[in-house]
């Protein structure tokens, strides 16, 4: 079975979505995992511990000072034993405690002690979720390497409609499978990845953009999360869902993307620039809608900052960490290798992932890609494969060549 030999600790805090966690526990147990459930005292108002005990086959832990329990210090032994720890549902209260390191029950105590990949799955009223206090607490958790699974939007038990709904248990199960089925060879690494197409405004109505959907960048982020990396996903315009477990930052224009990347570049071990960034933007942006007139319109454009080249420059000036790996993409319609190798040198990066837009199955919008990995050592031409497999191949190469000794 997929999860045989793996120990999963599920934390349950006091939210109505706790009923969905019963199915998750059952699913994990059926997949062969050893599942331990820890509940906060108030979570017992929503689901009886007996339900989780029956589904997991293990005692459900709710009390730090349970004297009838096994002799070892449970919060330490479980924390050590866990291959993955997921709090689902995670209330605003439990998120706040975990973000501050408060340990006043068995769940928060064990969560702080655990060093395995940790996930929180927020589920609460929209107002509580969107409140900046909760958002800042989630950012703090992400900063410390905890993965946050974004809540879904929809009808909430409190009667409101909006963000705050716990994702379906099957989705949470898939996250766990994707993590525990994989070697955690990126644990401890932080990665910054950009995705999507920038938009350069002409006026409040119109903008200049390109066909990028963000699929490739999202696939890289997803792959890195599943291998244990702490990922910041900086997205321009995308048409794909945000990957689970990342810190998500929105940056629509090339200038916003540049700011978002350069502000965070100093703390990343790996930077992957998969976004399709505009090279030019309208020189002036009209405050009001531009009205049409007879005849032609000439739009004056100016250059945007080349973000990848800027990173290369900062690296040459010693402003970025030694050993940091910088990877760019290159999209061409002819002379793929020559043009892409020129970008590797000019932008002072470690790898260029090159693809030819004219090759079948490569480029914008497809679920597949056909790329060549270009480094100082040479070129590696990959077969046509899914973008998820391309993501895995790119990360394999980066990790094996540069971070294998970790
Ligand atoms: N890039 C960037 N900032 C820009 C333009 C591109 O950081 N203003 C990055 C892209 O994210 C990509 C790489 O540079 O990783 C190469 O982008 P590409 O569009 O293929 O090439 P350009 O450098 O823009 O050159 P050209 O348009 O002449 O092919």
Pick the residue whose CA is nearest to atom 14 on ligand 1. 308
Non-local CB neighbours of 113 within 8 Å, separated by 6+ positions: 75, 76, 79, 80
Q: Is 281 in the pocket of ligand 1 (CB under 6 A)?
A: no
Last residue of a domain, one of 117, 147, 180: 180
Q: Considering 22, 100, 116, 158, which one is annotated as catalytic?
A: 158
Same domain for 155 and 233? no
Residue 2 located in a structural domain: no
Q: Is 354 helix (H, G, I), strand (E, B) or coil?
A: strand
- Model confidence over 130-174: pLDDT tens digits? 999 999 999 999 888 899 999 998 888 878 888 899 999 999 999
Provide the number of structural domains found in the chain: 2
pLDDT at res. 71 = 43
Same domain for 49 and 126? yes
246 CA distance to ligand 1 middle (Å): 24
Non-local CB neighbours of 132 within 8 Å, separated by 6+ positions: none
Q: Residue 333's domain spans which residues?
A: 190-403
Last residue of a domain, one of 180, 200, 226: 180
DSSP symbol at 253: S
Same domain for 124 and 206? no
Q: Which spans in 31-151 are helix H?
A: 49-56, 74-81, 92-100, 106-113, 126-130, 132-143
306 CA distance to ligand 1 middle (Å): 7
Is 103 in the active site?
A: no
Pick the residue whose CA is nearest to atom 20 on ligand 1. 330
Residue 381 located in a structural domain: yes
Q: Is 94 in the pocket of ligand 1 (CB under 6 A)?
A: no
Same domain for 117 and 212? no
Q: Is 307 in the pocket of ligand 1 (CB under 6 A)?
A: yes
CA distance 257 to 370: 26
Last residue of a domain, one of 120, 151, 180: 180
- Model confidence over 219-278: pLDDT tens digits? 999 999 989 899 999 999 999 989 888 999 999 999 999 999 999 999 999 999 999 999
Same domain for 50 and 94? yes
- The residue to mutate among 306, 340, 353, having the most atoms of ligand 1 within 8 angstroms of its beta carbon, is 306
Write phi, then psi, for 118 (nearest 5 degrees). Answer: -120, 140
Can you give the CATH number for the domain in which 173 is found? Answer: 3.40.50.1950
Higher pLDDT, 404 or 344: 344
Can you give the CATH number for the domain in which 343 is found? Answer: 3.40.50.10300
- pTM over cut 0.85: no
Residue 1 located in a structural domain: no
Same domain for 107 and 195? no
Same domain for 333 and 375? yes
Same domain for 287 and 314? yes
């Amino acid at each position: 079975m997929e999860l045989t030999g793996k120990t999963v600790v599920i934390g349950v805090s006091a939210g109505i979505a706790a009923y969905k966690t019963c199915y998750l526990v059952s699913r994990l147990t059926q997949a062969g995992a050893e599942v331990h459930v820890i509940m906060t005292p108030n979570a017992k108002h929503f689901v009886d511990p007996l339900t989780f005990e029956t589904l997991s086959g293990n005692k459900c832990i709710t009390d730090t000072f349970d004297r009838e329990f096994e002799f070892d210090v449970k919060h330490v032994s479980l924390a050590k034993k866990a291959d993955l720890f997921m709090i689902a549902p995670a209330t605003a209260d439990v998120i706040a405690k975990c973000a501050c390191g408060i340990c006043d029950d068995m769940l928060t105590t064990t969560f702080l002690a655990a060093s395995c990949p940790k996930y929180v799955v927020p589920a609460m009223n929209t107002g509580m979720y969107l409140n900046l206090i909760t958002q800042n607490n989630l950012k703090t958790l992400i900063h410390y390497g905890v993965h946050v699974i974004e809540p879904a939007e929809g009808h909430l038990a409190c009667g409101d409609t909006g963000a705050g709904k716990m994702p379906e248990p099957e989705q949470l199960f898939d996250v766990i499978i994707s993590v525990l089925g994989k070697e955690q060879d990126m644990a401890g690494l932080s990665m910054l990845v950009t995705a999507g197409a920038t938009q350069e405004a002409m006026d409040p109505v119109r903008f200049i953009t390109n066909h990028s959907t963000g699929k490739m960048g999202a696939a890289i982020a997803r792959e890195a999360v599943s291998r244990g990396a702490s990922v910041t996903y900086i997205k321009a315009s995308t048409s794909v869902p945000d990957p689970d477990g990342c810190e998500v930052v929105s940056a629509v224009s090339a200038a916003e993307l540049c700011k978002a990347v350069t502000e965070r570049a100093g703390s990343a071990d790996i930077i992957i620039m998969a976004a399709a960034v505009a090279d030019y933007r309208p020189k002036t942006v009209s405050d009001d809608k531009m009205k049409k007139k007879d005849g032609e319109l000439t739009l004056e454009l100016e250059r945007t900052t080349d973000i990848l080249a800027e990173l290369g420059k900062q690296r040459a000036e010693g402003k970025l960490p030694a050993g940091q790996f910088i990877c760019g993409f290159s999209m061409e319609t002819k002379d793929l290798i020559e043009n892409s190798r020129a970008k590797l040198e000019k932008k002072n990066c470690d790898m260029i992932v090159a693809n030819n837009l004219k090759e079948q199955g490569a480029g914008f919008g497809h679920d597949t890609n056909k790329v060549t990995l270009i480094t100082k050592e040479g070129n590696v031409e990959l077969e046509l494969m899914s973008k998820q497999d391309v993501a895995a191949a790119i990360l394999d190469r980066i990790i094996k060549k540069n971070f294998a000794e970790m």
